[in-house]
Amino acid sequence: MLQKRFETFPEAFVKNLISPKAKKSIPQERQQAQEPSGMNKADAAFFSPFWNEIIKSLREEDYINNREMSLLSIPSNCGSLKIVQWPLFLLYSKIFLAINLALDCKDTQDDLWNRISRDEYMVYAVQECYYSVERILHSVVNDEGRLWVQRLFREINNNIYERSLAVTISYTNL
């Protein structure tokens, strides 16, 4: 049940437990920064420290071990990553399932995305992986490499927008 309802926690937390004065301190652009799914990154940023304190106290009381603590903890959501980051227990193995779907899928890109979209946490895992890879590549390369990474991701984004990514990849692998 925790996994099924978890994505509603940040919004409910901010709505019911954060004072109106504290809500006003959020810059207006952050209040409106929402994912396509409607998830507000600012709500997640407010919620994550409180959730992580609960998880930390569970660990201190020895109800959970270190591995479980790392799976249950939420990233801060204060960084420049474009999406809300979720704890690993929600996304655990979802990226591998998405890869298997892509490898087994003989359908179009739309059909593949529809199959992935049936599981909202699989969508989050795919998006987080995509944006994380982009950020990692930007951080490890020099100026010329950054230009290459920007061109690469611009091309990938254009192919995704044109619904031709799967076709483009198939042709380049031949």
Residue 150 near residue 143 (C-beta atoms within 8 A): no
Q: Which residues of 49-60 are buried (b: 16+ CB within 10 A; e: fewer)?
A: eebbeebeeebe
Is residue 89 included in any domain, yes or no?
A: no
What value does the mean pLDDT of the chain take? 82
Give the confidence band of 36 by pLDDT, cuts at 50, 70, 90.
very low
Q: 59 and 8 in one domain?
A: yes
How big is the chain, counted in residues? 174
Give the range of the structural domain holding residue 116, as residue numbers without chain letter: 94-172
Q: 33 and 66 in one domain?
A: yes
Is residue 168 included in any domain, yes or no?
A: yes
Alpha-carbon gap, residue 41 to 33, rounded angstroms: 6
Global pTM reads 0.73
Q: How many domains does the chain have?
A: 2
DSSP type of residue 6: G
Q: What residue type is 173 in one-letter code?
A: N
